[in-house]
């Protein structure tokens, strides 16, 4: 994680070691492809996306990268696909040499989009 709070995704990524930067740049592109209408921003010091509310975000620690799905329900619904990965309630951790499969990231982002859209529809 960068020492200073970044103001942009670009500055966040620029502060990372090359391997983490490349892994997270790729993850970012997969997220953008899965949610092309999502707004990208930096929240709580990490790159994030929102569409009908908070969607997903990503970050880095000393020994891993993280994909924040931000939904225990989505994580539970995709538990079989996440078997063998380092997970917690709303996070999937990975290393640059073992990136997350693009198809899995896409399914998780699409599930979050559906979850957010349903929540918005219920508020109407």
* pLDDT at 3 (0 to 100): 58
pLDDT digits (tens, 9 = 90+) for 80-99: 999 999 999 999 999 999 99
Q: Which regions in the chain score pLDDT beneath 50?
A: 1-2
Q: Which residue do the tokens 């990372």 mark? A: 16
Instruction: Answer whether 65's CB lies under 8 Å from 20's CB.
Output: yes
Question: In sequence order, which residues have a C-beta less than 8 Å from that of residue 108 and are 6 or more positions away?
Answer: 56, 67, 69, 74, 78, 92
Instruction: Answer whether 35's CB lies under 8 Å from 55's CB.
Output: yes
Structure tokens at 9: 């995704």
Q: Where are the domains of the chain?
A: 9-113
What is 9-113's CATH number? 3.90.1150.200
Rg, the chain, Cα only: 14
């Amino acid at each position: 994680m960068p020492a200073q709070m970044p103001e942009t995704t670009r500055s966040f990524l620029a502060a990372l070691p090359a391997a983490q930067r490349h892994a997270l740049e790729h993850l970012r592109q997969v997220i953008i492809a899965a949610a092309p209408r999502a707004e990208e921003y930096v929240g709580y010091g990490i790159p994030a996306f929102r569409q009908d509310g908070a969607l997903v975000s990503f970050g880095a620690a000393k020994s891993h990268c993280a994909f924040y799905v931000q939904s225990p329900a989505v994580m539970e619904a995709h538990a079989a696909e996440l078997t063998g990965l380092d997970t917690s309630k709303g996070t999937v951790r990975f290393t640059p040499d073992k990136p997350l499969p693009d198809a899995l990231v896409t399914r998780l982002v699409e599930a979050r989009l559906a979850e957010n859209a349903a929540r918005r529809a219920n508020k109407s």
